[in-house]
Structure 1
Amino acid sequence: MWSTSTWQHLRLPFSFFLLPIYLFALSVSPQIDWGKASLAFIALHLFIYPASNGFNSYYDKDEKSIGGVEKPLPVSNELLNASLIFDLIGLNIGFLAGWEFALALFIYGLASKGYSHPAIRLKKYPIISLLTIAFFQGAFTFLATYQVVNQVPIKQLTENPILLPACLSSLMLLGSYPMTQIYQHEEDSKRGDKTMSLLLGIQGTFIYTISVFGLATAGFAYFYYTYFSLLSAISFLVALSPVLLFFFSWFLKTLKNEQEANFKNTMRLNMISAICLNVFYIIFYFCVQY
């Protein structure tokens, strides 16, 4: 039985915040193989994502709040072993869904390990690390999920109706990911890491996110209007309205007191965003399909 610390750093509940990309891919899928979709969900959200969390936590050895954990416990070698075991299980489950999906999971795992491993440590390079996260957690995961649940040839993934939402997934992450780093400036500085949020500063992170997230939102509205309907586009904007309201309210508080850029407010934004997007994608799928 693994220790409490190991389970804490695997951060299984944090997978909920990464669920929107998976559900987005399902929501625009014409012919879902639910058996493959179930295997993909289990592999990604119960094993590959937690494995990535644990691996990066092991090398980061954070003493202050991290994503989903306000007070992290000290890590041990057990965490590294657990993360590798989770990786192996996730890859095997992914292989049951399809070799292409398993290969995608393997590539994703390598990229995620490079984020914190001392031999590469992408966290030291703000732009490279942001682009890597945005691509692999966004477009790459969207395309891998779409391919396995629809069982389409890989070459078909380059078609515009599929490629456009994949790119929008990455654009959304390009805008939102620095917000997840906004409360970690002190600890990142101590380790010599230079995240995008640290580079931009607290107010700069908010302004950057407003700009890029706004562009991504317009792109999503265009996608839904072009390939579905005006009602779909409007519904997406309505679904995001709680996120925007909280974001601007938080920004105004932070302008008065930068201490508001803390763990609790960041997690609130993540939770509101994940709930709004997850619920929208589920409702959208059933409205379109049925």
Structure 2
Amino acid sequence: MITRSSVRHLRIPFSLFLLPVFLFALALTPNLNGDRLLLVFLALHLFLYPSSNGYNSFFDRDEESIGGLKHPPKVTPDLYWLSQGFFLISLILGAMISLGFAGMLLVYGLVSMAYSHPRIRIKKYPWASWIIAGFFQGYFTFAMAYAGLSDLGWDVIVKPHVIIPGLLTSLMLWGNYPLTQVYQHREDSKRGDCTLSLKLGIKGTFLFSALFFALTGAAFIWYFLDRGQDQIIWVYLGAMAPIILFFLIWFGFVNQNPEKYASYSWAMGMNSLSALALNAFFIYYFLENTQIQQVFGY
């Protein structure tokens, strides 16, 4: 029997935080197709990501706040099989597009399992987990979504027009990833996971993320300039402004009282604002880049 707690551990709404990567791939996809768009979206956001969340929760068995759950319920045995069922459905949906896309989903799923499984547990290695999580949730996911949306194969991963935007998405995630760990120091220490945030310390985490936010902003500006999309830069900066402002205010409070303000509420506030602003920006970029509005006479 599937328990309510297991459904909650899938954290399906949390998948929206990774939606900007899908939207960026969508904006650059040359072969738009409604059926493929729906299948890729469902495979990633309704099944693959929740499967990963549930699998992670099953082995972590967190007692304190985790991403998307301030008070995580007790883990029950059915969560493992529920997460595997969601993973299987994502593969079936992927195979409806192509075996290549399904293979990419399989690789992503296996890496996410290795991240949490006690025999491998990439999560306990600070730099390795940071690199792998940022690469697979960014670059690899961008390439995977682009391949699925365009009905292309594995070779798309090494195409220059995929490499550059893919790396941009990884830069975004490498900057934000340590901030998602900043409120979990006690839980991670208790479990023996030396996360990057734990290694850097609370203030070090913020300085590290600030550096990558600056690199990401500069890289996106270069990308838009290189594509001759100067006007997009101002929209991008407008979308980033509230995120950076929130980050600076949060950092200011953390400097005063790290224990109080390096909290779940502030971290989820940062994540939610980032997702809202970036999703809005990439939807705008999709509409501008594809000029799809003209098709419908707008």
Which TM-score band (shorter chain)?
A: over 0.9
Within 5 Å, give how 1:199-218 maps onto structure 2: 199-218=199-218
Asked if the contact 2:101/2:153 (under 8 Å) is kept, the reply is no
Equivalent position amino acid for 1:77 in 2: P
Equivalent position amino acid for 1:213 in 2: F
How far, CA to CA, are the matches of 1:233 and 1:159 in structure 2? 24
Within 5 Å, give how 1:1-290 maps onto structure 2: 2-258=2-258, 259-290=260-291
How far, CA to CA, are the matches of 1:116 and 1:152 in structure 2? 30
Asked if the contact 1:43/1:94 (under 8 Å) is kept, the reply is yes
Aligned residue-pair number: 290
Unaligned runs of 5+ in 2: 292-298
Q: Secondary structure at the match of 1:127?
A: helix
Q: What is the CA distance between 1:114 and its match in structure 2?
A: 0.8
- Structure 1 window deviating more from structure 2 (40-49 vs 223-232): it is 223-232
Q: What is the CA distance between 1:288 and its match in structure 2?
A: 2.4
Q: Deviations over 1:230-263 (max 9, x none)?
A: 1112221111111001000100011001110100
Q: What is the CA distance between 1:57 and its match in structure 2?
A: 0.3
How far, CA to CA, are the matches of 2:257 and 2:160 in structure 1? 44
How far, CA to CA, are the matches of 2:96 and 2:64 in structure 1? 38
How far, CA to CA, are the matches of 1:78 and 1:228 in structure 2? 52
Asked if the contact 1:222/1:233 (under 8 Å) is kept, the reply is no
Q: Secondary structure at the match of 1:32?
A: coil
Equivalent position amino acid for 1:147 in 2: A
TM-align CA RMSD? 1.1
Q: Deviations over 1:95-139 (max 9, x none)?
A: 112111100000000000011100001111000111110111000
How far, CA to CA, are the matches of 1:124 and 1:288 in structure 2? 40
How far, CA to CA, are the matches of 2:261 and 2:18 in structure 1? 24
Equivalent position amino acid for 2:284 in 1: I
Q: Secondary structure at the match of 1:97?
A: coil
How far, CA to CA, are the matches of 1:134 and 1:213 in structure 2? 14
Q: What is the CA distance between 1:156 and its match in structure 2?
A: 4.3
Q: What is the CA distance between 1:289 and its match in structure 2?
A: 2.2
How far, CA to CA, are the matches of 2:238 and 2:199 in structure 1? 32
How far, CA to CA, are the matches of 2:28 and 2:250 in structure 1? 32
Q: What is the CA distance between 1:155 and its match in structure 2?
A: 2.9
Percent identity reads 43
- Structure 1 window deviating more from structure 2 (28-37 vs 99-108): it is 28-37
TM-score, with structure 2 as normaliser: 0.95
How far, CA to CA, are the matches of 1:107 and 1:272 in structure 2? 30
Q: Secondary structure at the match of 1:21?
A: helix
Query: Structure 1 residues 8, 31: CA separation in 2 closer, same or farther (over 3 Å shift)?
Result: same
Equivalent position amino acid for 2:210 in 1: I
How far, CA to CA, are the matches of 1:165 and 1:134 in structure 2? 14
Equivalent position amino acid for 2:53 in 1: N
- Aligned structure 1 segments of 4 or more residues deviating by more than 6 angstroms: none
Q: Secondary structure at the match of 1:250?
A: helix
